[in-house]
Chain A
Amino acid sequence: MNKYIKWILGAAVLVFVLVFPFIVSKAYHMHIALMIGIHILLALSLNLVTGYCGQLSIGHAAFYGVGAYTSALLTLTFPIPFWVAFFIAAIVSAFFGLLLGLPTLRLKGAYLVISTLGFGEIIRLILLNWIDVTRGPMGITGIKAPDSIFGLDFANKTNYYYLMVLIIAIVLILMRLVTNSRTGRAWIAIREDQLAAEVMGIHLAKYKLIAFVASAFVAGFTGSLYAHYVRFISPDTFVLSESIAVVIMVLIGGMGTLVGPIIGAIGITYLLEALRDLGQWRMVLYGLILFFCAVYLPKGLMGLYNYALIKIKSKREASVVKANEGGI
C-alpha cells in the first residue's frame, strides 16, 4: 500500500517537472526554476560531506566558484567546447576538494567548520584580488551558452531547464547508488561514531577524502552550469552567505537523505523569492528560521516525516495488539 503511494507520488512529481515549462508563461518563473535546479545540485553535493559523512562545511561556495571560474575562463580563452570545460571544471574543483580535505582530516566540530570557512574566504579573496586572471570585482562577462546538442539551443531557458532536469536525474541516480554502497555506509558509520567506525576497520581518511572530493566534483560542474546559464560571474556570488544558504537548505530538508536537500533547495529558494516584498525583513526571518530549525528540528523536514511515520506505525501496531487481546 505504502509502496504504491510512493510510486504514484514519484510519477506525479516527474510529470509535473516535465510539463512545468508549459504551465508557466513568464521568463521570470523559468529563471526561478533554473536557480532552484542549481541550488538542488549544490545542496545534494554538500549533503554528501555534511549529511552522510557528518563533516559540516561552510565553505561550499568556494567549489561552486572554482567550477564557475574554471569553466568560464577556459571557454573564453581557449576554443574548447562547453562540455569539455564542464568536466574540467568538475575535476579542478574536485582537486580543490582534496586540497581542503587533506589538512582537515584530523579536525572536527568547531575546528573543521572554521577551517572550511577560512578556505572559502581564501578562494573568495583570490577571485577578488587576482585581477589579471579573474578580472577581480568587475567579474567575467560574455560567457557563452553551452554548445547545442541535437540542435537544441541552450540559450533558450526551456532547453536549459530540461538539460538541468536530466543532470539532476543522473546525479540523483549516482548518489542513490553511492550512498547505498559500501562507501555510503562507511560515511554514515563515520557520521554516527567515528571511533566505532575506525574500530570496525573503516579507513577514515580514505572515506572522508572521497566525500570531500565527490562533493567538490558535483559543486564544480554546478558552477559551470551556473556560469553558462547566467553568463556573467563575479566574486559576489561565491560568498559566505551563499555557503550558509546551502547549509540551511540541507539542514531544513533533512541531512543524510536524498529527498531532503531537494525539498530544502526548492523551499528556501522559493521562500526567498516569494517574500521579496518584505525586503530586508526576509533575511531577518531567515536567521530566526535557521536558529529554530537547528535547535528544534535538527533532522529537518524529512526527520519530522520519518518521526510521524514511526508514530503512526506504532499506533497501528498498538491497536492491533489491543484487538488481539480483545479477541482472547
Chain B
Amino acid sequence: MFLQQLINGLVLGSIYTSIALGLTMIYGILGIINWAHGELYMIGAFAALYLIMIVELPYFAALLATVVIMAIFGFLLDKLVFSPLRGKSDNTIILGTLGISFFLQNLGIIIFSPNPQGITSVYNNMNLNIFGVTVTYSRMIILVVTIVFIIFLNWFIGNTKTGKAMRATSQDYTAARLMGIDIKFVSVVTTIIGAALAGIAGSLAGPIFLVYPTMGILMVTKAFAVVILGGLGNVGGAIFGGFILGIAEAMAAGYISSALKDIVAFVILILVLIIKPEGIFSKYAVEKV
C-alpha cells in the first residue's frame, strides 16, 4: 500500500513538477505570472490526443511532435501576450493572463467539445513489477521522461550560453540588458521551454487521466501551490515542491479519502504562506507589516 501510493505520488509529482517548472521559470526570468499555463497543459494533451488517435503516430513520435507544436505556441504566446504585458504591474499581468486563460479554455470547448476524451496507448496495458507493486508502463514513462527533461534542463541552464543569459536575466533584468544580452531572445526561449514542459506533461498525463478543455484550471492552481512551496522563481524548489505535493496527495488519497485529495494542495499552500511565505527554499521576498 505505502509503496504503491509512493509510486503513484511520484508519477503525479512529475506532472506537477513539469508544469511548475515552466511557471516558475517564466516568473523568474520574465517577471510574468502566467495564469494561462494550465491551458498549455491542455493544449499539449489535445495535441497528443489528435496525433495518436487521428494521425495514428506512434506514442514517442507523437510526444516529439507535441514538443514542436508547443514550441510554436510558446513563440506566439511570448510575442502576442507576454510582450504587451512586460513591465506592467502584477495585478495587470495576473488579470491579462487570466483573460488569455479564459479565452483558450473556451476556444478549446468550441474546437474540441467539452466532453472528456481518453487517449488509448499501448503502454496502458503493459505492466511492470517493482518490489511487488504493479505499475503500468504509461505511468513509468511519465516519471522517466520527466526526469530526463529535468536533467536536460539543468544542463541547458547550467552549461549553454543561452542558459547563462537566462540566469543573468533572472538575477537582474536591467544589468543583463546593459551587458548586451538579447532580452527578447531570452524571453522567447524561456516561454518555449515553459510551454514545451507543460505540453509534454499534458501529453504524458493524457493516457492516464482524461483530456478535456478545462483540465488546466485545477492544474495551474496546484502548480502555483507548488511554485510557492518552492519559492517563486526558484527552479530547484519547483522540482522538490512538485514531488512533495504529488506524494502528499497520493498519501491523502490512499489513507484518508480521495475526495480530500484536491484540498491537500491548498492546505499546504496556506500553511507555507503562514509559516514561511517566501517558500521553503528562498531567502527573500517577504513583505513586512
Binding site for B on A (CB under 8 A): 54, 56, 58, 103-111, 113-115, 117-119, 121-122, 125-126, 129, 194, 204-205, 208, 240, 244, 247, 251, 280-281, 283-284, 286-295, 298
What chain A residues lie within 8 Å of B95 (beta carbons)? 56, 247, 251, 290, 293-294
What are 28 of the A-B contact pairs (CB < 8 Å)?
A56-B94, A106-B277, A109-B90, A109-B94, A110-B27, A110-B90, A111-B277, A115-B273, A122-B266, A126-B263, A194-B287, A240-B217, A280-B110, A281-B106, A281-B110, A284-B103, A284-B107, A284-B110, A287-B99, A287-B101, A289-B99, A290-B96, A290-B98, A291-B97, A294-B95, A294-B96, A295-B92, A298-B88
Stretch from B11-19, B51-59, B179-187, B224-232 at the A interface: B224-232
Extra A-B contacts (4), CB below 8 Å, given A115-B270, A121-B266: A58-B98, A280-B109, A283-B106, A286-B106
Query: Contact: A114 with B269, CB < 8 Å?
Result: yes
What chain A residues lie within 8 Å of B81 (beta carbons)? 291
Query: Contact: A122 with B99, CB < 8 Å?
Result: no
A26 to B210, CA, bound (A): 43
Check B151 for interface membership: any CB of A closer than 8 A: no
Q: Is the interface of B mostly helix, strand, loop or mixed?
A: helix
What chain B residues lie within 8 Å of A107 (beta carbons)? 273, 277, 287
User: How far, in Å, is B79 (CB) from chain A's closest CB?
Assistant: 14
Mark out the residues of chain B between 67 and 95 whose CB falls within 8 Å of any chain A CB in the assembled complex: 81, 84-85, 88-95
Query: Contact: B84 with A110, CB < 8 Å?
Result: no
A121 to B101, CA, bound (A): 18
Query: Contact: A287 with B263, CB < 8 Å?
Result: no
Check B3 for interface membership: any CB of A closer than 8 A: no
What chain B residues lie within 8 Å of A244 (beta carbons)? 98, 102
What chain B residues lie within 8 Å of A247 (beta carbons)? 95
What chain B residues lie within 8 Å of A290 (beta carbons)? 95-96, 98-99, 102
Query: Contact: A113 with B273, CB < 8 Å?
Result: no
A56 to B91, CA, bound (A): 7
Check B104 for interface membership: any CB of A closer than 8 A: yes
Cβ contact of B99, chosen from A129, A280, A281, A291, cutoff 8 A: A291
CB-CB nearest in chain B for A126: B263
User: How far, in Å, is A95 (CB) from chain B's closest CB?
Assistant: 16
Query: With A110-B33, A111-B232, A295-B96 in contact, do A287 and B270 touch (Cβ < 8 Å)?
Result: no
A289 to B95, CA, bound (A): 11
Query: Contact: B99 with A204, CB < 8 Å?
Result: no
User: How far, in Å, is A201 (CB) from chain B's closest CB?
Assistant: 14
Check B260 for interface membership: any CB of A closer than 8 A: yes
Query: Contact: A295 with B259, CB < 8 Å?
Result: no
Cβ contact of A288, chosen from B93, B99, B262, B289, cutoff 8 A: B99
CB-CB nearest in chain B for A239: B217
User: How far, in Å, is B93 (CB) from chain A's closest CB?
Assistant: 8
Query: Contact: B266 with A118, CB < 8 Å?
Result: yes
Query: With A103-B274, A118-B225, A295-B85 in contact, do A286 and B94 touch (Cβ < 8 Å)?
Result: no
User: How far, in Å, is A137 (CB) from chain B's closest CB?
Assistant: 11
CB-CB nearest in chain A for B102: A287
Most chain A beta-carbon neighbours within 10 Å: one of B93, B101, B102, B262: B102
Cβ contact of A104, chosen from B27, B33, B273, cutoff 8 A: B273
Most chain A beta-carbon neighbours within 10 Å: one of B33, B95, B103, B217: B95
A154 to B190, CA, bound (A): 57
What chain B residues lie within 8 Å of A118 (beta carbons)? 221, 225, 265-266, 269-270
A114 to B23, CA, bound (A): 13
Cβ contact of A113, chosen from B84, B94, B100, B225, cutoff 8 A: B94
A58 to B99, CA, bound (A): 13
Check B148 for interface membership: any CB of A closer than 8 A: no
Cβ contact of A106, chosen from B103, B107, B217, B286, cutoff 8 A: B286
What chain B residues lie within 8 Å of A125 (beta carbons)? 262-263, 266
User: How far, in Å, is A122 (CB) from chain B's closest CB?
Assistant: 5
Query: Contact: B88 with A295, CB < 8 Å?
Result: yes
CB-CB nearest in chain B for A109: B90
Query: Contact: B269 with A115, CB < 8 Å?
Result: yes
What chain B residues lie within 8 Å of A129 (beta carbons)? 259-260
Check B161 for interface membership: any CB of A closer than 8 A: no
User: How far, in Å, is B216 (CB) from chain A's closest CB?
Assistant: 12
CB-CB nearest in chain B for A203: B289
User: How far, in Å, is B273 (CB) from chain A's closest CB?
Assistant: 5
Cβ contact of A283, chosen from B88, B102, B265, cutoff 8 A: B102
Mark out the residues of chain B between 131 and 151 whose CB falls within 8 Å of any chain A CB in the assembled complex: none
A117 to B33, CA, bound (A): 14
CB-CB nearest in chain B for A50: B91
User: How far, in Å, is A76 (CB) from chain B's closest CB?
Assistant: 24
Check B267 for interface membership: any CB of A closer than 8 A: yes
What chain A residues lie within 8 Å of B89 (beta carbons)? 298
A105 to B274, CA, bound (A): 10
What chain B residues lie within 8 Å of A286 (beta carbons)? 102, 106
A247 to B288, CA, bound (A): 26
CB-CB nearest in chain B for A123: B266
What chain B residues lie within 8 Å of A106 (beta carbons)? 277, 286-289
CB-CB nearest in chain B for A298: B92
Contact with A along B200-241 (1 / 0, CB 8 A): 000000000000000001000100110010001000000000
Shortest 3 CB-CB contacts between residues of A and residues of B: A287-B103, A290-B99, A287-B102
User: How far, in Å, is A8 (CB) from chain B's closest CB?
Assistant: 35
What chain B residues lie within 8 Å of A293 (beta carbons)? 95, 99
User: How far, in Å, is B174 (CB) from chain A's closest CB?
Assistant: 19
